[in-house]
């Protein structure tokens, strides 16, 4: 990587404070301070501010998770966001210099709905904690997962789920279902989809690969947050999460692998495409 890369971070949190954006911006900063790497990242407040990046000004887009329902409401920000997603697809179909996007949780659900590649439904209960994520056959071949175990572990926090993927629609985009949630032998429900490669340049996950163990330990160690988790999910769940956060083979590895690998490969593709167009 020896280039200049402008990154747009799309904040989907609707003004609510969260750890996800801190984690994302830390990863962007780490990438941009590597030897030979130049550029910047800018943050766009999508839901409250109705801000979206100029496609021509940025090479890489990272769209965050966020609170609330992902189901379509017709809100102005939503219509603009869907148009933005379509503009990336359209650009990549007709230009040699591609744009690269990574969609997290809420953004992932919105993309699945908008492109109609799967259903998004409300879960019977909230999924909250650190869980194993299982690769599909396609996921076993996915370059972004090459250095992750099967299963690997990630933070999961959602009231909705992506189910019933429409494989034929994904095929039209050259897309693939890459991961599913943990196996629940006593629950007769379809396992939710946890990651999809929508196209060669657009990747999405249901979980939170940005979560870092050190920051999460600090965050969950705060009395107010600890009490909130214990009240909602029980003391056992809280203690289980704290133990898993301390395990280097779990979210620490996912944090150090998935988004950094996406950024590295996106940068290498951009460099290669620039050379080809010279």
For 79-114, what is each residue's pLDDT tens digit?
999 999 999 999 999 999 999 999 999 999 999 999
CA distance 117 to 96: 25
Average pLDDT, the chain: 90
pLDDT(277) > 70 = no
- Is a pLDDT exceeding 70 seen at residue 153? yes
Mean pLDDT in residue range 248-275: 91
Q: 211 pairs with which residues across the strands?
A: none
pLDDT at 246: 73
Q: What is the pTM for the complete model shown?
A: 0.92
pLDDT tens per residue across span 237-258: 778 777 777 777 788 999 999 9
The pLDDT confidence band at residue 154, using thresholds 50, 70 and 90, is very high
Beta bridge partners of 154: 131
Residue 278: the pLDDT is 52
- Degrees to nearest 5, angle at CA 25 with 62 and 196: 30
Instruction: Give the separation between CA 141 and CA 212, rounded to whole angstroms.
Output: 25
Q: What span, in angstroms and rounded, lies between the C-alpha atoms of 120 and 164?
A: 9
pLDDT score, position 253: 92
Map residue 221 onto helix, strand or coil: helix
Res. 78: pLDDT tops 90: yes
The residue assigned the tokens 């090459």 is 146
């Amino acid at each position: 990587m020896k280039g200049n890369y402008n990154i747009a971070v799309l904040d989907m949190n609707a003004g609510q404070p969260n750890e996800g954006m801190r984690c994302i911006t830390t990863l962007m900063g780490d990438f941009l301070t590597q030897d030979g790497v130049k550029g910047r990242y800018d943050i766009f407040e999508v839901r409250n501010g109705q801000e979206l990046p100029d496609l021509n000004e940025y090479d890489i887009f990272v769209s965050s998770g966020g609170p609330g329902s992902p189901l379509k409401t017709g809100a102005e920000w939503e219509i603009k966001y869907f148009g933005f997603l379509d503009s990336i697809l359209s650009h990549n179909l007709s230009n040699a210099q591609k744009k690269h996007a990574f969609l997290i949780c809420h953004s992932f659900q919105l993309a699945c709905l908008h492109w109609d590649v799967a259903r998004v439904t409300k879960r019977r209960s909230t999924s909250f904690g650190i869980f194993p994520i299982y690769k599909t056959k396609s996921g076993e071949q996915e370059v972004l997962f090459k250095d992750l175990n099967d299963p690997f572990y990630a933070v999961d926090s959602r009231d909705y789920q992506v189910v019933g993927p429409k494989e034929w629609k994904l095929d039209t985009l050259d897309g693939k279902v890459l991961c599913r949630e943990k196996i629940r032998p006593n629950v007769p429900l379809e396992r939710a989809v946890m990651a999809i490669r929508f196209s060669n340049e657009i990747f999405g996950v249901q979980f939170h690969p940005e979560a870092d163990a050190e920051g999460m330990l600090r965050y969950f160690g705060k009395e107010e947050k600890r009490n909130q988790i214990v009240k909602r999910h029980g003391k056992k769940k809280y203690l289980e999460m704290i133990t898993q956060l301390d395990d280097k083979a779990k979210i620490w590895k996912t944090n150090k692998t998935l988004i950094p690998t996406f950024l590295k490969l996106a940068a290498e593709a951009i460099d290669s495409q620039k050379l080809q167009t010279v």
